[in-house]
Amino acid sequence: MIKSEKADIFRVERTPLKVTLLIFSGSSIMCVASAVDPLRAANRISGETLFDFKL
């Protein structure tokens, strides 16, 4: 590889990362919140949809 060529692993993806969380009955709401809140906060702080998540 020539130095001026960039490796594919460093290419910036602009499409949102799709995340699906499977929640079982009896799950703690704190566990659900600790999984969802960082994704929600990242979207809000960045001003764009970085994570597209479903519950």
Structure confidence at residue 16 (pLDDT): 94
54 within 8 A of 16, measured Cβ to Cβ: no
Model confidence over 1-54: pLDDT tens digits? 566 666 667 677 789 999 999 999 999 999 999 999 999 999 999 999 999 999
C-alpha 41/C-alpha 24 separation (Å) is: 23
Structure confidence at residue 37 (pLDDT): 97
Structure confidence at residue 14 (pLDDT): 82
**Residue 1 CA to chain centroid, in angstroms?**
31
* Segment holding 35, helix H or strand E: helix 29-46
C-alpha 2/C-alpha 27 separation (Å) is: 51
User: What is the pTM for the complete model shown?
Assistant: 0.70
pLDDT at residue 55 greater than cutoff 70: yes
Structure confidence at residue 4 (pLDDT): 60
